Amino acid sequence: MKICMVLMAFFSIQITFAHELGQDVSRWSQDQFEIAKTRLMQNVSPKGAIPGSVVASPSKDSPNYYYNWVRDAGLVMLTINRLRTFSTSQEEQDFYLRQLFDYVDVTRIHQSMRTAAGLGEVKFYVNGAPFTGPWGRPQNDGPAIRALTLTKLANYLMEHEGEAYVRSMLYDSKQPTESVIKKDLEYVSHNWKNHDFDLWEEIMGHHFFTRLLQRRALLEGAKLAKRLGDMGAGEWYASQAQALEVALNLHWDENAGFFRATQNRVAGIDYKQGMDSSVIIAIINSADAQDTAFSIKDDRFMSSLYKMKNTFSGIYSINSRFPDMGTAIGRYPEDRYDGYSTGKLGNPWFITTAAFASYYYKLAKALKKDGSIKVTKRNREFLNQALTLTMTGHFLQVNQVLGSNDSIFSLLLEGLIKSGDSYVERIRFHAHSDGSLSEQMNRETGYMQGAEHLTWSYSSFINVYLNRQEALR
């Protein structure tokens, strides 16, 4: 009885904090942004590790995440590159640039290792040696994310007197190549049709997340190759990106109203039905303003998010007990990993909840730039749900077009920002008072669990903050 009273008191305090946060999302986000940057950098090149290594978490036991996962490291370095472009301090910019150069060096070490999965190897020890134990391999999202990240670095260097470094270290136009970007692009372009394990390391098949990042890496790589005079490779990468576009469209399920995360399963768990928040993580990390095929404004992503949000809201007790904030989002509804072992009930994650916040912010920015949106059968419910945060008694109709001169359009943009803010409130509600973020939040109690100080959690929140800043400009 006393324990129940203590828990109720705790949650009462947390609810009060959540309501207060609704009045000042900006201030808390700014504070958490600074904390997240500090915590993230503590996991980059930690003491005793090769410079450029990124540990998934400092946790070495229950669970042991003290490895450099290729995928996680690539996403973290993608964030660090974004921090470089966001910063107005030359000292900070130089600091982030040094981290990226270290990342190039450790990538060369990883690519030179003989591994069971080639460049699709999953993770490495902090001394640079590959992990050789049993694991779900290959995982082909890592090389794509790494290539995408370093292509952004290459483009920056090309504009800042760094072409010699680019040609010697990043993209040498040779075959066989010794440069890190071209190695990854060659691997991706020749292996994307093969089966591999998904980002959750549970299913072998063809995965939307992996394919969407592969497509973006090849599109950006094609432009870099042509810029450097490697025209044949540029055409090859572009052709494979086009083929990936066709394959990605096959993941869309019109009847279900969402992108199915995996097709052609050949191994791994067999109890997933196809709904997976990795779809949203994929689009927020690969969207490009000039891309018309897979845009942040694609009504299929709005439909997918809407379906997932409603599903997750009903399976985690913390969503129904504390409804005055964004929905706590998990990996997929049937998840059986609780942060320590499988065979349990899965929980919401910070990275997935943050991904939903980022999606709303990025969509608000894109629609504001366009100045209009057409209501479709796919996005109508999503848009109406966002609109309810700023007005009542109005429902959008299919084929209705909202423009910048329409007051409802302005209210919709405001509703999208408020929707993103509601997920920030959810993150705040479950984070530790010192701003630390673990991997998961318990579906019943709301307390954090799983790997502590998860690097990807901090990286995700940094992007939430940056996406919010851009949406509000």
Q: Looking at the annotation, which residues are catalytic?
A: 198, 201
In whole angstroms, what is the distance from residue 355 CA to residue 462 CA? 11
**∠ CA(52), CA(55), CA(61), 5° rounding?**
155
CB 244 within 8 A of CB 215: yes
In whole angstroms, what is the distance from residue 130 CA to residue 116 CA? 9
Dihedral sign for Cα 284, 285, 286, 289, please: positive
Cα separations in angstroms, 245 against 292, 398, 441: 11, 27, 35
- The secondary structure of residue 118, as a DSSP letter, is G
In whole angstroms, what is the distance from residue 173 CA to residue 170 CA? 10
Cα separations in angstroms, 6 against 19, 127, 295: 20, 45, 47
**What H or E segment, with its residue span, contains residue 266?**
strand 262-268
CA atoms within 13 A on the CB side of 298: 23
Which residues on adjacent β-strands are paired with residue 207? 262
In whole angstroms, what is the distance from residue 143 CA to residue 158 CA? 22
Structure tokens at 196: 């591999």
Cα separations in angstroms, 449 against 251, 337, 375, 431, 471: 32, 11, 40, 11, 31
In whole angstroms, what is the distance from residue 144 CA to residue 157 CA? 20
In whole angstroms, what is the distance from residue 110 CA to residue 103 CA? 10
Cα separations in angstroms, 343 against 116, 336, 338, 340: 28, 5, 8, 10
Structure tokens at 157: 């260097």
Q: Letter for the amino acid at 109?
A: I
In whole angstroms, what is the distance from residue 400 CA to residue 394 CA? 13
CB 360 within 8 A of CB 388: no
Alpha helices by DSSP H, listed for 159-289, are 163-165, 180-191, 208-227, 231-249, 278-286
- Residue 91 phi/psi, 5-degree rounding, is -60, -45
> Following CA atoms 12, 332, 28, 384 in sequence, which dihedral angle do they give, to the nearest 10 degrees?
-90
